């Protein structure tokens, strides 16, 4: 039985690989950002790769904000020091800037859902400090009316992609967005906080008590959304709350 199952899996894998090779022969892989031909599917060309600004240490032990120079083990940034976030640790892959924005907006608004594999893979690799030992991934939810219009929740796609490269299981519908909040695009920090206040809750019957959970979202701007979700999980008794986002906006000069 087991032999049959593994043979079946091998055949399925072989067929998948065969289709991939066939697809690559007909449609050679292209850079995810600029469309130039590349050797590997789901990849960026060398020049786009160089233009992306990936976060790297030294950074705030708590929120992952980069430091201009090493500050010592466990150092936290001024903002985290002033107001302790509801999450335990947050990390992001890329700076949200003129280089990464087109890629992220295409994924978010232009149905370029095939990007999820590559982007989720980057998150899996860069997110070790929050993913290690985690029990569940919780994508930040959209309100149902926005989900209806957009047809997919980009945070959930990223969470599933992280799972498929060896990340923890996805609790896709555990967090609910109760209120339809106006788009955050043009709002400043205070307005964003007011906008998402009490917008989320846990689905009845779901419990995060004693669990190590990681919030997944595409972009962290002021952190107001992640903070609101983390407060809900904190209230629900989560043991550890991580946040992993694909991109994060940081002020110039940091």
In the window 166-205, what residues touch Zn ion (CB under 5 A)? none
Site string for Zn ion, 69-108 (x = CB under 5 A): --------x--x----------------------------
Size, binding site for Zn ion by CB under 5 A: 12
In the window 203-232, what residues touch Zn ion (CB under 5 A)? none
Verify binding: residue 249, Zn ion, rule CB under 5 A.
no
C-alpha distances (whole Å) from 213 to each of 6, 137, 142, 244 are 32, 6, 19, 11
**63 within 8 A of 16, measured Cβ to Cβ:** no
**88 within 8 A of 214, measured Cβ to Cβ:** no
Rounded to a whole number of angstroms, the minimum distance from the CB of residue 215 to Zn ion is 16
Rounded to a whole number of angstroms, the minimum distance from the CB of residue 50 to Zn ion is 10
In the window 47-66, what residues touch Zn ion (CB under 5 A)? 48, 60, 62-63, 65
The token duo for 235 is 């209230």
Nearest residue to 246 via CA among 87, 24, 76, 55: 55
β-pairing, 175-177 vs 200-202, is antiparallel
Rounded to a whole number of angstroms, the minimum distance from the CB of residue 42 to Zn ion is 13
Site string for Zn ion, 19-48 (x = CB under 5 A): ------------x-xx-x--------x--x
By residue count, the chain amounts to 254
Rounded to a whole number of angstroms, the minimum distance from the CB of residue 102 to Zn ion is 11
Nearest residue to 222 via CA among 187, 178, 173: 187
């Amino acid at each position: 039985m087991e032999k049959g199952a593994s043979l079946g899996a091998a055949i399925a894998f072989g067929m998948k690989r065969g289709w991939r090779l066939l697809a690559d022969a007909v449609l050679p892989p292209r850079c995810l950002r600029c469309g130039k031909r590349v050797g590997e599917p789901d990849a960026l060309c060398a020049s786009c790769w160089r233009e992306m600004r990936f976060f790297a240490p030294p950074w705030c032990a708590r929120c992952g904000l980069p430091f201009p120079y090493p500050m010592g083990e466990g150092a936290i940034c001024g903002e985290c020091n002033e107001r302790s976030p509801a999450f335990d640790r947050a990390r992001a892959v890329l700076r949200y800037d003129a280089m990464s924005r087109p890629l992220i907006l295409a994924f978010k608004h232009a149905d370029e859902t095939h990007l999820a594999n590559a982007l989720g893979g980057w998150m899996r690799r860069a997110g070790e400090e929050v993913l290690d030992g985690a029990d569940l991934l919780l994508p930040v939810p959209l309100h149902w009316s926005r989900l209806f219009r957009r047809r997919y929740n980009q945070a959930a796609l990223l969470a599933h992609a992280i799972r498929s490269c060896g990340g923890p299981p996805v609790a896709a519908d555990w967090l609910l967005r109760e209120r339809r909040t106006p788009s955050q695009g043009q709002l400043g920090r205070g307005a964003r906080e007011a906008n998402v206040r009490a917008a989320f809750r846990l689905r009845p019957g779901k419990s995060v008590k004693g669990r190590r959970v990681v919030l997944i979202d595409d972009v962290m701007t002021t952190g107001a959304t992640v903070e609101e979700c983390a407060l809900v999980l904190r209230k629900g008794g989560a043991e550890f709350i991580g946040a992993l986002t694909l991109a994060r906006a940081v002020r110039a000069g940091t």
